Amino acid sequence: MIHFYQTQDNSIKELEEPVNGCWICVIDPTAQEVQRLIDGFGLDSGFVKSSLDEEESSRIEREDDQTLIIVDTAMSEIQTEETILFFTVPLGIIITKNYLFTISLKDNQVLRDMMDGTVKSVYTHMKTRFVMQLLLRITAIYLQDLKQIDKTSYVMEQKLSSAMKNKELIQMLELEKSLVYFSTSLKANEVTIEKLLRGRTIKLYDEDQELLEDVLIEVRQAIEMSHIYSGIISSMVEAFGSVISNNLNIVMWRLTVVTIIMSIPTMIFSFYGMNTANLPVPDTWFPTVISIVITIITAYIMLKQKK
């Protein structure tokens, strides 16, 4: 889908056709729409393909009068009522003389916030400022998802404390994996923003530079948070792994006690079941009493030595 937006009366309005200074938002385009971007708007085909590559890493590239900025954006997806999957997807930003393009394989919260006016003071004709605000919103979504990961891990911790289940452990491992993705993407975004801050790729005005410095601070804060949460979850998973192993040892100990206790009557009655002469008191009541007494004594000794 291709949508056109322009700032009118201090708010974002959707247009039917593109005009100079507008923002062109492209989400999961068809083959015909990709060709329109290349032929109709003159975008570099490599830039468009890179923006639609799920494995593309964050970077900046300039070709003639076009500038490509690729940054990773955080996304979340609810799989079940209790399972949330967090991952990242690349977002391509292409700056040309007349337009500013954002190209993404998936619709995401960042683009929706820009469209519906959640981000204030957005002016599409001020391309550099628009890019800075977009980067700031991307970082804000990272921080928001990191807090959600922290809350989810706390809920999983409470559930694991009451009952050890594979589902909660798998969810914790998924969160840990998500934090690794977040950390890697944020570090790549940090490098990209530092390159932008040098002012060699796009021209920065004083206000834009201050805004970009704020973005860089937020990115570094998000990186630090991801490292902290990742360490917490890793320690938590290791701790619960040790608890599960200890619980298994306790279960095996109980089964061993039961096996030993149950084997005593079996051995005694086996002796008296043989055709062997000269067994003491060859009456039915004697082996029964002996087996019960020895079983009780053995059970008492083993249970006393539980600790």
182-211 pLDDT, tens digit per residue, is 888 888 888 888 888 876 677 777 777 788
How many other β-carbons are positioned within 10 Å of the β-carbon of residue 268?
19
For residue 282, name the pLDDT band (cuts at 50, 70, 90): low
Cβ pair 105, 53 in contact under 8 A? no
pLDDT at 163: 62
Which residue type, as a one-letter code, is found at position 186?
A: L
Q: Locate 35 and state its tokens.
A: 């060709």
Residue 247 clears pLDDT 80, i.e. is over it: no
Nearest of 164, 178, 172, 153 to residue 242 by alpha carbon: 164
Strand partners, 146: none
- Distance, in Å, from the CA atom of 157 to the CA atom of 185, rounded to the nearest integer, reads 26
pLDDT at 166: 67
- Distance, in Å, from the CA atom of 268 to the CA atom of 255, rounded to the nearest integer, reads 21
- Distance, in Å, from the CA atom of 197 to the CA atom of 195, rounded to the nearest integer, reads 5
pLDDT at 304: 74
pLDDT at 260: 81
Domain 2-246: give its CATH architecture. 2-Layer Sandwich (3.30)
pLDDT in tens, 110-139: 888 888 877 777 888 888 888 888 888 888
Q: Which of 153-162, 260-269, 270-279 has the lowest mean pLDDT?
A: 270-279
Which regions of the chain carry the CATH code 3.30.460.20? Answer: 2-246
pLDDT at 81: 61
pLDDT at 307: 53
CA 112 remoteness from chain centre:
21
Angle between helices 127-162 and 166-197 (to 10 degrees): 160
The DSSP element (H or E) to which 54 belongs, if any, is none
pLDDT at 279: 67
Nearest of 298, 286, 292, 296 to residue 265 by alpha carbon: 292
pLDDT in tens, 61-85: 888 788 888 998 888 877 666 667 8
Q: Locate 116 and state its tokens.
A: 């519906």
